């Protein structure tokens, strides 16, 4: 996981991200009750916390696989976290899995620059 942003705003971002992570855990239960797709539930969560999620896909001709980079931007603090993986499975599904991995991450206690 990579983290980018202004160290002064890290505590604000960390607090918001940790709360969003807790809420993210509840998505799997609530989306069944609300009859929503996982993507709709993720979008609702991002809107609630002022996050923007996006994935970029590159096809690697050498090995016939996809590299997927998923980023979560905090529109308020300017922080960005990112994860990347290589897969040969459904790209849409892999992007959602990357976002799930981001919300499962534990942020460091202090921000010391891009990791």
Name the pTM for this structure.
0.75
Long-range contacts at 61-68 (CB < 8 A, ≥ 24 apart): 64/88, 66/91, 66/94, 68/94, 68/95, 68/98
Q: Which domains does the chain have, with CATH numbers?
A: 2-104 (3.30.160)
Helices (H), 1-115: 10-34, 38-49, 91-104
Backbone dihedral angles phi then psi of residue 87, each to the nearest 5 degrees: -150, 160
80 has which bridge partners?
4, 73
How much is the pLDDT for 48?
94
pLDDT means per 10 residues, the chain with 115 residues, are: 90 93 79 71 91 90 87 94 84 79 78 63
């Amino acid at each position: 996981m990579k983290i980018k942003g202004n160290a002064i705003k890290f505590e604000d971002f960390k607090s918001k991200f940790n709360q969003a992570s807790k809420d993210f855990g509840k998505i799997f239960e609530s989306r069944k009750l609300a009859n929503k797709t996982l993507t709709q539930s993720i979008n609702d969560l991002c809107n609630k916390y002022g996050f923007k999620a996006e994935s970029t896909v590159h096809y690697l001709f050498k090995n016939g696989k996809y590299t997927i980079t998923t980023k979560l931007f905090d529109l308020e603090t300017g922080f960005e976290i990112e994860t990347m993986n290589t897969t040969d499975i459904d790209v849409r599904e892999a992007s959602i899995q990357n976002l799930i991995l981001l919300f499962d991450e534990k942020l460091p206690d202090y921000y010391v620059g891009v990791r």
